[in-house]
A and B are shown apart, each in its own frame.
Chain A
Amino acid sequence: MLKVKSLYKSFGDIEVLKGISTEINQGEVVCIIGPSGSGKSTFLRCLNRLEEANKGEIIFDGQSIYGRDVNINRIREEMGMVFQGFNLFPHLTVIKNIILAPMLVKGLSKEEAYSIGKSLLAKVGLEDKIDAYPDQLSGGQKQRGAIARALAMSPKVMLFDEPTSALDPEMVGEVLQVMKSLALEGMTMVVVTHEMGFAREVATRVIFMDEGVIVEEGSPEEIFNDSTHQRTQEFLKRIS
């Protein structure tokens, strides 16, 4: 579904991605782990071109997203993204956050968008906050709302950029629970995370990145229990 071929990205003189190649298949839940500064988030942000890669190719559904006549907005419709900082729109209520893009981008009627929004809010357990403003929500509620907002576009793949890193510890669980149920429904997900428990339990594949390269990838057991790479072992020891 998503093919990445030797992706390079620099910020000024600093090379953040040094030739990333991987493939993400339908229904996979891929967790990307690694020390901070390893390029995980930059890699994720390249997938929907929030960050422009300097070199390399990304093919989504058989189409290069860097192609000349590609409308990136059409591609982004099909890739949901959830941010570390939630980024709900503070001037809109929760439901309006959710229906904005379906109405504006997909041209759904208000009624259609509303009913999709309502069922998604029920799914993430926020049906009682439908008319609340983001400021009135806890961090965990905000992030669940942001997930519902991304899902409202019925994307083919969901990108999560450290979705629980800005949350108070007691709210991490509720967000991970929503992500887990999403994974169980078969959603294709790419998750940059520090939650090793989640990666171990939910991921179908774990990618370990360090210093701009993929050091190794494999099933959670392979990475967490039988890693052969010294850098992976050191990282896992450090965080455990």
Chain B
Amino acid sequence: MSFFDHVVKVLPLLLEGLKLSVIITVASAVLGIVIGLFVGLGRISKKKPIKFLAGCYVNFLRGTPLLVQLLIIYAGLPQILQLITGRPSPMSPIVAAIAACSLNSGAYVAEIIRAGIQSIDKGQLEAARSLGLTKKQSMARVVLPQAFMRIIPPLGNELITLLKETSILSAIGLEEMMRKGQLYVASTFQPFPVYITVAFIYFIIVVIISKALSLLERRLRISAES
């Protein structure tokens, strides 16, 4: 079989795996933003313990590899659970994957949100407070909407990173796109056509996400100006 025969044969398998890659990316992105919002706000909190805990979270999750985090959750956690409960507690690979990806992404999103909020001139908060708005109201109505515009581009980068990093999930046997490719290689010994195709599909998806994001950015900028 030629290069293209293998491409044609592996393509449907990869696309099937891609579905799972995308689902995990989307789920982890949503959860990551929720985590990131809380941790990011925690990072700029005036309350020392909250600030400290949020700082620990970000430093630990950025300071250790995603693969290690994944294995701790997938393999390490069930061991601890079994010690505690006395029963075997196997972990579903999808749950472990989404947990690891969203916890990891949450740390990066937290930093993006922190930086976005801190980039807003403090006169904005002062003006809001001077009108009698509470701190929460000032954040929700004045600071966060402005920070949001600045957060979109780096958040888009994080989404792209997240998608590419789901390839690591092949390490726990989750049949996302990368794993599907590896399985095909294992039975045919054709790494080159397979991995080139895998790379190409990731690349296409990333291009689509980038385009969509720059469209969204332009749309938001226009609606903010009109």
B137 in the interface (beta carbon within 8 A): yes
Q: B134: which A residues are within 8 A, CB to CB? A: 73
Q: A150 and B131: CB pair below 8 A?
A: yes
CB distance from A24 to the nearest CB of B (A): 17
A90 in the interface (beta carbon within 8 A): yes
B224 in the interface (beta carbon within 8 A): yes
Q: Which B residues fall within an 8 A CB radius of A? A: 121, 123-124, 126-134, 137, 141-142, 145-146, 149, 224-225
Contact of A101 among B131, B145, B224 (CB under 8 A): B131
Q: A48 and B130: CB pair below 8 A?
A: yes
Contact of A76 among B131, B142, B225 (CB under 8 A): B131
CB distance from A33 to the nearest CB of B (A): 22
CB distance from A95 to the nearest CB of B (A): 15
Selected A-B contacts with CB under 8 Å, 28 pairs: A50-B126, A50-B130, A73-B132, A74-B132, A77-B132, A79-B130, A81-B127, A83-B123, A83-B127, A85-B121, A89-B127, A89-B128, A91-B145, A91-B146, A91-B149, A91-B224, A100-B131, A101-B128, A101-B132, A104-B137, A105-B132, A105-B133, A105-B137, A133-B225, A146-B127, A150-B130, A150-B131, A153-B131
Bound CA span A74–B132, Å: 6
Nearest residue in A to B123 (C-beta to C-beta)?
A87
- Interface core residue of B132, B133, B137, B142 (most chain A CB under 10 Å): B132
CB distance from B129 to the nearest CB of A (A): 7
Q: A48: which B residues are within 8 A, CB to CB? A: 130
Bound CA span A48–B127, Å: 11
Q: A149 and B131: CB pair below 8 A?
A: yes
Nearest residue in B to A97 (C-beta to C-beta)?
B127
Bound CA span A73–B124, Å: 16
